[in-house]
Amino acid sequence: MIDCVVYISSVANVRRHLRKTECLESFAKGVTNSGHRVHVERANVYTPAPLAVILGWATPDTIGGVNVQLRQKIIQEQAQRGFKTMCIDASCWKYLDNSSQYLRYSINGPYYDTSEYANKNSDPDKWNQIKSELNLNLVPYKTPGPNGYILICMQRDGGFSMKSLDPLQWLHNKITEIRRYTNRPILVRPHPGAYNMNDYAEYMTKKSKSKLNIEIIEPRQSKLIDNLHGAHATVVFNSSSSVAAICLGVPVFVDDQSCVSWQVANKDISRIENPNLFKREQWIYDLAAAHWSDEESRQGLIYKKFLPLLS
């Protein structure tokens, strides 16, 4: 039997997304370099194997094209056979890692609370490597002041990380909650990869802006780092943008326990004026250990790390 199938066909429009196919091809080389058998699948065909590797993820109700339907089939078929599916997901430091030098690898899902990243109780080596290459650091937490605003970072509609929730309905509910406890200005940053400013029209009228004290940011005209500069706190449902906030010393409020930042995040919005501050060191070591480069992948380091979990 083939040891691993790597699905290039899990990527939409392969010719336009060469970086996405590169990481899959690198993983396939790593399996070969580990002395195991791999099949690279470029058609919309499922082949059973102890490990299936796909780009991204899909739940049964995830909306998408042929590639998403293939992901759904792979995940379902692998589970029924007692086999594993590996998910390759975006870097938590993509706000600095424009070329996607590092990506996340996990088994049986992208959710940080239920998926296996083989990264628990990691040493600081990987964090030291990544922070050196990306010029990262853990900035001390900001001293709370009266002038900071609340930054809300939005997510894609239909993406698996929203778990079928309507992002705009979540936003409406969250603003209502926040306004029970603070009158600070609220800045809303739509997801830069999928947004329509018209969706936020109700918050952009003069009357609404005056009443609610809300500003909608055009995400392609500013950087996340810049949006965080004057923030008192950041609010997300389940977004890796929370990692940028925590690294820059901005307290985070998270709704979904699958978020990578759940361990170091506030959960009770009533504390928005006085957030808890968490120790971040072990959390950042573990998070960094979930990230790998293509060169590490080609060497078979990722495959070998997860191999004991495949049986």
Domains and CATH numbers, the chain: 4-132+289-309 (no CATH), 149-279 (3.40.50.2000)
Instruction: Please give the Cα distance from 237 to 117 (Å, whole number).
Output: 21
**CB within 8 A of 143, min separation 6: which ones?**
none
Of 188, 183, 186, nearest in space to 167 by CA: 188
* 0.85 surpassed by pTM: yes
- Average pLDDT estimate for 49-61: 93
Summarised one tens digit per residue, pLDDT across range 62-92 is 778 999 999 999 999 999 999 999 999 999 9
**CB within 8 A of 17, min separation 6: which ones?**
11
**CB within 8 A of 284, min separation 6: which ones?**
127, 138, 247
Contact yes or no for 107/88 (Cβ under 8 A)? no
What pLDDT, on the 0 to 100 scale, is given for residue 294?
A: 97
Beginning with the edge strand found earlier in the chain, give each strand of the sheet holding 4-7 in spatial order: 38-41, 4-7, 51-55, 84-89, 102-107, 291-293
Summarised one tens digit per residue, pLDDT across range 117-132 is 999 999 999 999 999 9
Confidence of residue 311 (pLDDT cuts 50, 70, 90): confident
Return the DSSP state at 117: -
Beginning with the edge strand found earlier in the chain, give each strand of the sheet holding 149-153 in spatial order: 214-216, 186-189, 149-153, 231-236, 252-254
3-state secondary structure of 52: strand
3-state secondary structure of 235: strand
Confidence of residue 252 (pLDDT cuts 50, 70, 90): very high
